[in-house]
Structure 1
Amino acid sequence: MDPIVGKNLSEFLETLRLREEPMGLYHTEVKPEECLVPPGMEPPTPEREQRGEIDWQAVFASFSCVMGGIWRARKKKTAACFSAVQPGCPGGSFFLGFHKPQTETILKYVTTGIPGWSTGEKYCASPEALRTIFTYLDPVPAPAAYCVVKPLSHFAADEAPELVLFFSRPEPLCGLHQLATFVTNDPEVVMSPWSASCGSIVTWPFHYQRRGLNKAVLGGWDPSARKYVPPDELSFTVPYAMFLLMLERYHDSFLTTDTWSTVVKKAARSAKVWGEQ
């Protein structure tokens, strides 16, 4: 990983009043020796669905939210690892690029429901509307067998993340948001599209990269995944190159001004309210 990370990260986090180091996401053909993995799952692919080979009751019995896995990795300061046979859930398998298109069963489950089984999550008006969204999103296929998320401090000198994931409440988050524009000169650098929470930290960032767009993604809006983050917390995902620019240039930004010091005071009050100091 770039030497600037080890040199500047601690002070960078302190300046922003971020109480937790960010996580790095990368793909690899080698499963980390120490990592948290979800239960095994029948691959929920449309091909297997069409052949009637998926036992959906068994699939949902082994359900394990991707964000839940990352939350446990955050608390234990270790890695979370996902694969095509251990994706966490059918939605995660799709959003992490292990299969596409999404199955008809999940399209119905997320929208209007399945008679006699599920009333539906009602996150989109119809299966057809959701299919249109998923076709546009078109997740980038996972480029290796494993998708791994681990603390930045766990990356070796010869490793580098593809994406950097922050988890933050509004005060530090406003610093990240504004700093993204400072280092890119793009007033629309931060995007916040509809998605499952795992889509916000994986799928949409890679979607923008594939289109040649340098974007940060604000996420964590998925009601089903809110139980896996502390109150008031959202995610903020940036490409690794953008993160390096933040570390390199934050000293030149508003983060050194009196204006930011007022935000720091609010961040301290927030931490006190949540019993963090």
Structure 2
Amino acid sequence: GKLEGERYKKTPELVKEMMKHSPVFRAPGRFVVFKRWDRLEDDDNPEVVIFFAMPDVLSGLFTLANFDEFEPDGVFTPMGAGCGTIVQYPYLEKDSKRQRGVIGMFDVSARPFVPEDVLTFAVPMEKFVGMIENMDESFLITESWRTVQKRRNRE
């Protein structure tokens, strides 16, 4: 018969197997608060930072997240729901010995709710602080990045 559903995996069995191997996420509290960076207050304590970014910005975040890594996967892209890539996986990375960034919002069901040229980059706050500390000695001070910035400024 005809299969119903989203059809993001070839078979229902494959979905069940994927779900068995998906990491368990327990919300840190009754609510998870999302707040824009420019609206943070002194008593806020963000645990994860989420960027909704166009490809050029995403490439910068990706490169900066890998700047102090010798392994090639300082950023990863898990298959999953859009919310999983901005909440579940970044929160799980927060407790990892080697925190990584998460590129997301590839979920076809979530795509209509973000601009067509935007994906997400989410990272635990501790990793993000390290990224900020590395900025002044990274590619961000190079002519290559200035060229990318000029293109972004023209858009």
Q: TM-score, normalised by structure 1?
A: 0.52
After TM superposition, list the pairs within 5 Å mapping 1:171-250 onto structure 2: 171-250=56-135
- Give the distance between the partners of 2:74 and 2:122, measured in 1 at CA: 11
Structure 1: which amino acid aligns with 2:54? R
The structural deviation recorded for 1:210 is 4.5
Contact 1:163-1:239 within 8 A present in 2 as well: yes
Aligned with 1:224: secondary structure? coil
Structure 2 spans left out of the alignment, 5+ residues: none
* SS in structure 2 of the partner of residue 150 of structure 1: coil
Quick one: structure 1 residues 238 and 248, their matched pair in 2 at CA, closer, same or farther if it must change by over 3 Å?
A: same
Shift of 1:191: 0.2
Q: Which residue of 2 aligns with 1:261?
A: 146
Number of equivalences? 153
Q: C-alpha displacement at 1:211, in angstroms?
A: 4.9
What does 1:158-177 align with in structure 2 at a 5 Å threshold? Answer: 158-177=43-62
Distance 1:160 1:227 in 2: 30
Q: What's the CA shift for 1:157?
A: 1.5
Cα displacement string for residues 143-163 of structure 1 (whole angstroms, at most 9, x for unaligned residues): 211111111222221221111
1:57-136 map, 5 Å: 112-113=3-4, 120-136=5-21
Distance 1:136 1:189, change over 3 A: same
- Whether the 8 Å contact between 1:218 and 1:237 is mirrored in structure 2 is yes
Aligned to 2:26: 141
Unaligned runs of 5+ in 1: 1-111, 114-119, 272-277
Structure index of larger Rg = 1
Give the percent of matched residue pairs that are identical in Structure 1 and Structure 2: 37
Please provide the CA RMSD for this pair: 1.7
Contact 2:47 2:94 in 1 (8 A): no
Quick one: distance in 1 between partners of 2:51 and 2:66?
16
Q: Which amino acid aligns with 2:112?
A: K
Residue 148 of structure 1 aligns to a residue in which SS? Answer: coil
Paired residue type of 2:61? L
Amino acid in structure 2 at the alignment position of 1:258: E
Structure 1 residue ranges (4+ consecutive) displaced by more than 4 angstroms after TM superposition: none
TM-aligned CA distance change 1:189 to 1:226, over 3 Å: same
The answer (yes or no) to whether the contact 1:183–1:242 under 8 Å persists in 2 is no
Deviation string 1:70-127 (CA, Å, 9 cap, x unpaired) is xxxxxxxxxxxxxxxxxxxxxxxxxxxxxxxxxxxxxxxxxx42xxxxxx11011223
Aligned counterparts of 1:209 and 1:135: Cα–Cα separation in 2? 22
CA–CA distance in structure 1, aligned partners of residues 90 and 21 of structure 2: 14
Q: Which amino acid in the other structure matches residue 130 of structure 1?
A: V
Secondary structure at 2:91 match in 1: helix
Relative distance call for 1:265 and 1:174 in structure 2 (3 A) is: same
